[in-house]
Amino acid sequence: MNWVNHSVTTEAAARQAGRAPADAGAASRSGWALAALLGALFLGNVDVAIATIAAPSIQAGLHASGGALELIVSGYTLAYAALLVTGARLGESRGYRPMFLAGLAAFTVASLACGIAPGAGTLIVARIAAGAAAALMTAQVLTGIQAGFAGRARTRALGLYAVVLSAGAVAGQSLGGLLISADILGTTWRPGFLLNVPAGVALFWMAGRCLPAGRRQPQRLDLAGMTVLAAALLLLVLPLVLGQDAGWPAWTWVCLAASIPAFAVLRIVERRVSARGGQPLVDFRLLTRRPVGLGLAAQTVATGTYFAMMFTLALYLQQGLGKSAGYSGLALVSWVAAFGIPGPVLGRLPARRRALAAPAGTVLLAIGFAAIGVSLYAGQTSGVLLMTLLGVAGLGLGTGFTGMLSHLTSSVTAGQAADLSGLFNTTTRVGGVVGTAAFGAAYLTLVPGHGSAVHSFALINLALAAAALASAVLAGLSVARRHPAGCQVLPG
């Protein structure tokens, strides 16, 4: 047992006995370790959104072509999604602490390169490097929480993980809009990337002092699996990211169709690796277990609705109602604030009730979306009403997310933490890309033909409500039969 687990166990035992924990220093270090992990997660998610807000300013400042601008915005997401599972596996084999520090250092350097890039080509390379580095560092966050915390301490950490994941995306939009509007010393979009440098240095220092070494499981890396997985994800994600702006040319449909056999090939490759006694990059046995497979599917759909909402809401407010980028980013503050409420509350509940929060929360998410759609059809376009209903939906997503994350992490063994971390991060990221592409394309198609941005956004919200209900069904099936035989359940 590492020192963080020891400190958590000691603190829990002391609370039960009515005494203070014996090692307050270890408890303090575990708190700083969690802050470092979540701080890196926050930076990684901020960078996803900030380039989107800065895109017009980048294009004007660097005279970038439309294709170059798409790669500047999307290169990060592509590298991030393609390398998350590989990053988790590297953490397992090389140790999550050194891989986290390496990813954070590379992310900081790449952010500096983004901020001082003299041209579009340099910025594209730097953005792809930043996405790869972000994948390496954020893939270790869930592993670090799974390995370093137990019981209520883990539940609280997972609640904070959920808050940071949501807050990062919204902060990227609002902070990016404010920084660009401020135009500090005529630097326009550059501070959005340069702010990552001092933050990255501070987090590196903190993590170097506080993160425990963790366990290493030296093993030969599954290079064939890495290659096939990266290819399959690129075939799926690349057309979804670039297809809308490109007008969905033939190559996008060819890539999407080719991704299906590519994933089939991945499963064959991984089976062969297992048959030879090796460690596959993706453990498909984990996906075939009901709690994990259905739980990941439920969370992927729910996360997809969130990213779709962010994208279509920005279009609706800025293009449909003529609001500013700053207003668009701040409109989601109620969502993020409500999203953070369930974490501490659910931490006080027994494990079974926390799991049941997953389907209950996604039902509330569906109610929030449906209420937005119905109110808009009734002619209620008040910003106060919209933000209130966004808060309801955010509360639902936060409840479902925290409940599902607690359910998933307690449904796997400690040795499967890296597998779960990579799969969870990758599937939710892909869900966000798919949700944005599908619902974004639907909204842009509806606006000209339907005649009103209000009615088009109302239809999108009703469709999001249906998707959230589907997520609730999947979540209910996932938690209906917890911990099948042979599954070692961790505390919490």
Quick: pLDDT tens for 258-286.
999 999 998 898 888 888 877 777 778 77
**What percent of the chain clears pLDDT 90, i.e. is strictly above it?**
27
Q: If phi over 0 gives left and psi between -120 and 50 gives alpha, with beta otherwise, what is residue 151?
A: left
With a cut of 80, say whether residue 398 has pLDDT above it.
yes
d(CA 108, CA 204): 9
Q: What is the reported pLDDT for 46? A: 84
3-state helix, strand, coil in the chain (%, to 5): 85, 0, 15
User: What is the reported pLDDT for 316?
Assistant: 87
Average model confidence (pLDDT) across the chain: 80
236: Cβ–Cβ under 8 A, 6 or more apart, which residues? 255, 256, 259, 430
Q: What is the pLDDT of residue 66?
A: 65
Residue 97 has pLDDT above 70, yes or no: yes
Tell me the mean pLDDT in the region 292-307: 91
In 3D space, the residue among 319, 398, 369, 377 whose CA is nearest the CA of residue 470 turns out to be 369
pLDDT tens digit string along 140-173? 888 788 777 777 777 778 778 877 876 776 677 6
pLDDT for 390 equals 94
Residue 137 has pLDDT above 90, yes or no: yes
Give the CA dihedral 332, 135, 125, 225, nearest 10 degrees. -130
CA–CA gap between residue 41 and residue 140 (Å, rounded) = 10
DSSP 413-452: -GGGHHHHHHHHHHHHHHHHHHHHHHHHHHHHHHHHHHS-
Q: What are residue 382's phi and psi, to 5 degrees?
A: -60, 135
Per DSSP, the three-state class of 278 is coil
Residue 19 has pLDDT above 70, yes or no: no
What's residue 451's pLDDT? 59
Q: How far lies 89's CA from each of 93, 426, 444, in Å?
A: 6, 13, 39
What pLDDT, in 10s, does the model give residues 438-482? 888 888 888 875 558 889 999 999 999 999 999 999 999 988 854
pLDDT of 3 higher than 60: no
Helical segments of 276-350, H only? 284-287, 290-315, 325-330, 333-339, 342-346
Choose the weakest-confidence range: 12-16, 329-333, 395-399, 421-425: 12-16
Per-residue confidence (pLDDT) for residue 48, from 0 to 100: 75
**Alpha-carbon span 20 to 25, nearest angstrom:** 12
Res 253: pLDDT: 93
pLDDT more than 70, % of the chain: 86
Q: What number of residues does the chain have? A: 492
pLDDT value at residue 382: 85
pTM over 0.85: no
Residue of 277 and 251 predicted with greater confidence: 251
Measured CA to CA, the distance from residue 398 to residue 358 in angstroms comes to: 9
Alpha carbon distance 479, 408 (integer Å): 9
Residue 490's SS3 state is coil
Amino acid type, 29:
R
Mean pLDDT computed over 76-104: 85
At 362 the pLDDT is 95
Cα→Cα distances 472→341, 397, 432, 434, Å: 20, 11, 17, 18
More confident residue, 89 or 350: 89
**pLDDT value of position 480:** 83
- Indicate if the alpha-carbon torsion angle 116, 122, 126, 128 is positive or negative: positive
More confident residue, 128 or 53: 128
